[in-house]
């Protein structure tokens, strides 16, 4: 576990100045797919990008109309799942992605590996974010262990267990309750990781997706430094093994910065439950306060009014 001194340093203490990052106005993610989608070939990818294009164009147009100072800065990205399943090779997959997107009139500026949201070089990124989670105490807490112990995070108080000893009266059932409730509760309980027999952790898809959003929003730091800066590459120069590929590669040398004030993601409706979990997680992450202040100050200098809460800077189109 990170010590208090190390955590203070990571949060931007005097011994570790927090480096700022270049920011676009919008980070536009052109979808997320599973291995089976890639296995169906380039025609399946073209179909995906054809569906994404109208929403991508709308997001670009809205961003352009909202910018009052300077030229709009918009970058595109695509996250490849090499964490849960390894398939093909970076060279083959990225070449196919770029070709399919190009056929739909879209350009992919950056490609990221999902495993890079778990670990990037020597930085245990997922555990770093996990250590910045803040448990939200529920009213009349029912004795549930902390998130750091259970690996589960909720947005309220779940129903108490109904088991009781043989001599005790049966417990009365109570419904779960959302903390920030509006009229009726929508209770969410998210698994963040599963412990492995070797002592390691298998991080959940929603948790890695939350890390990816923090990365795109320019809010991740380790000892004051940004994590996994993009590395220039072309599809032809990518390695044949996933472990050899940088966590994030920049395919377009003329692209605007990968990180941005806001993010927008177009994806299939099957990902809606995952993104609900992502928003629940992000609502409980205490982001680096110095990095957060840097972003807000720079946005204000460009005439941009950013929401204070991280989730308020994230947009979606579910296809």
Residue 152 near residue 284, CB atoms below 8 Å = no
Q: Is the pLDDT of residue 14 over 50?
A: no
β partners of residue 195? 201
The pLDDT of 244-255, averaged and rounded, is 98
The pLDDT of 305-313, averaged and rounded, is 95
pLDDT at res. 279: 95
Higher pLDDT, 219 or 157: 219
Tokens of 315: 């947009």
Q: Where are the alpha helices (DSSP H) in 104-219?
A: 125-130, 147-150, 205-216
pLDDT in tens, 145-187: 566 657 888 766 766 655 455 555 566 767 676 666 677 878 7
In this prediction, residue 32 has a pLDDT band, given cuts at 50, 70 and 90, of: confident
In this prediction, residue 299 has a pLDDT band, given cuts at 50, 70 and 90, of: very high
Tokens of 25: 């106005």
pLDDT at res. 235: 94
pLDDT at res. 161: 56
Q: Would you kindly state where each structural domain of the chain is located, as residue ranges?
A: 4-131+201-318
Residue whose entry in the numeric block shows the structure tokens 């001599």: 167
pLDDT at res. 47: 95
């Amino acid at each position: 576990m990170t010590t208090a001194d190390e955590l203070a340093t990571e949060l931007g203490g005097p011994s570790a100045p927090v480096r700022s990052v270049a920011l676009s106005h919008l980070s536009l993610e052109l979808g997320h797919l599973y291995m089976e989608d890639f296995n169906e070939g380039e025609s399946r990818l073209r179909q995906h990008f054809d569906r994404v294009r109208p929403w991508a164009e709308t997001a670009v147009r809205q961003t352009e109309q909202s910018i009052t100072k300077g030229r709009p800065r918009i970058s595109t990205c695509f996250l490849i799942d090499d964490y849960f399943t390894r398939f093909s090779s970076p060279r083959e997959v990225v070449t196919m992605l770029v070709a399919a997107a190009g056929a739909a009139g879209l350009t992919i500026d950056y490609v990221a590996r999902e495993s890079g949201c778990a670990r990037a070089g020597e930085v245990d990124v997922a555990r770093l974010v996990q250590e910045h989670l803040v448990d939200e105490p529920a009213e009349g807490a029912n004795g549930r262990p902390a998130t750091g112990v259970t690996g589960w995070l909720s947005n309220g108080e779940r129903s108490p267990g109904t088991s009781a000893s043989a001599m005790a009266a049966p417990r009365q059932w109570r419904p779960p309750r959302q903390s920030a409730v509006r009229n009726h509760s929508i209770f969410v309980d998210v698994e963040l990781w599963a412990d492995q027999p070797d002592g390691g952790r298998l991080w959940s898809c929603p948790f890695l997706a939350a890390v990816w959003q923090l990365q795109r929003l320019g809010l991740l730091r380790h000892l004051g430094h940004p994590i996994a800066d993009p590395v220039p590459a072309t599809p032809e120069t990518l390695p044949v093994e996933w472990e050899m590929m940088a966590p994030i590669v920049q395919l377009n040398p003329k692209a605007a910065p990968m990180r941005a004030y806001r993010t927008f993601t177009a994806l299939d409706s099957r990902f809606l439950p995952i993104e609900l979990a992502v928003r629940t997680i992000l609502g409980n992450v205490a982001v680096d306060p110095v990095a957060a202040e840097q972003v807000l100050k720079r946005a204000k200098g460009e005439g941009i009014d950013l929401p204070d809460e991280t989730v308020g800077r994230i947009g979606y189109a579910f296809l």
